Amino acid sequence: MKERARAMQANGTVNYLDVLLGSQSFTDFISRVTAVSTIMEADKSIIEEHKRDHKLLNENKLKIEQEKAQIETLKGQLESTKATLETKKAEKDQILAKLKEEQDSLEEHYMDLQEQQQLYANQEAAIKKAIELEQKRQAEAAKAQQREAAASGGGGSSAPAAPVTGGLFIRPTGGSITSGFGGRGSGHHFGIDIGGSAGDPVYAAASGVVYRSYYSSSYGNVVFITHYINGQTYDTIYAHLSSRSVNEGDVVQQGQYIGAKGTTGQSTGVHLHFELHVGKWNVAKSNAVDPRSYIHF
């Protein structure tokens, strides 16, 4: 009966009164009333079913839209979380890079106790020798001046030796400065780095006495020279050399070749690490100064 009702609905509106009036007999009329009643009940059932289906469709549609909105919200939250994680990762990478730089800076010039003790022991002897050499030089200069005065016929008392003035130090090597003196990361760089090519010549910045020439796990091939100029002690350090041409105890002259530029020890590229100390070198490097205050680069 439902199938018949659906077919009737599909073909158009049914006029139930025409159906009843078309009866051929009372018995046919009763049969038609019964059929029409059955069909009307079926139509009512179909309509109710259709309403339920429509309601369920709307509910499902609303549910799908709500789920879609939730998915979009979750997607936004995930994208926000992803962006936050990427930001934190970038911050973490920056912190790690900074810590690595600080660690490298500390390791670059770290010395163990035995290494420090050897430097201090050699330093005292070198300073004493440098002072003696300077005193000898001044005495010889005074004698030479006296001889010049006597040769020129001057009868007065001889003048004292002229002091060394200006130009106390020269550039130890060519190349541009790749890292200056002062703050680096949260640490401190106690010298300057001068870039260049492996094998570039390195010279003594001033005349003096070599008190350490050795391989250090941090400085690599390194040369320490003490100078005594105008009554003041200075120390210069030349680190990360590829080779050294002077030995401990050697007396060097300003501009003398002492080694070649390299990248030995705790080094990340070819350069000369150069330090200048007004006074004795010490492990705290409290006497370190910016070499650019004394040398034009």
pLDDT tens profile 162-200: 333 346 999 999 999 999 998 876 678 999 999 999 999
Can you tell me the distance from the alpha carbon of 246 to that of 253, in angstroms, rounded to the nearest whole number?
A: 11
Burial 174-211 (b: 16+ CB within 10 A, else e): ebeeeeebeebbeeebbbbbbbbeeebebbbbbbbbbb
**What is residue 49's predicted lDDT score, i.e. its pLDDT?**
86
Residue-wise pLDDT tens digits, 44-85: 888 888 888 888 899 899 999 999 999 999 999 999 999 999
Q: Give the C-alpha distances (Å, rounded to integers) separating 96 from 116, 138, 231.
A: 30, 55, 46
Kindly state the tokens that stand for 205. 């910045």
pTM recorded for the entire structure: 0.59
Q: Return the DSSP state at 17.
A: H
* Mean pLDDT confidence for 265-284: 94
What does the pLDDT look like over 236-267, one tens digit per residue? 999 999 999 999 999 999 999 999 999 999 89
Lowest mean pLDDT among 3-7, 88-92, 98-102, 117-121: 3-7
Q: d(Cα 223, Cα 226) in Å, to the nearest integer? A: 10
- Residue 26's pLDDT band (boundaries 50, 70, 90)? confident
196 Cβ partners below 8 Å, 6+ apart?
A: 173, 174, 175, 261, 270, 271, 272
Residue 162: its pLDDT value, please?
Answer: 32
pLDDT at 180: 94
CB atoms within 10 A of CB 295: 18
Q: CB neighbours of 47 closer than 8 A, spacing ≥ 6?
A: none
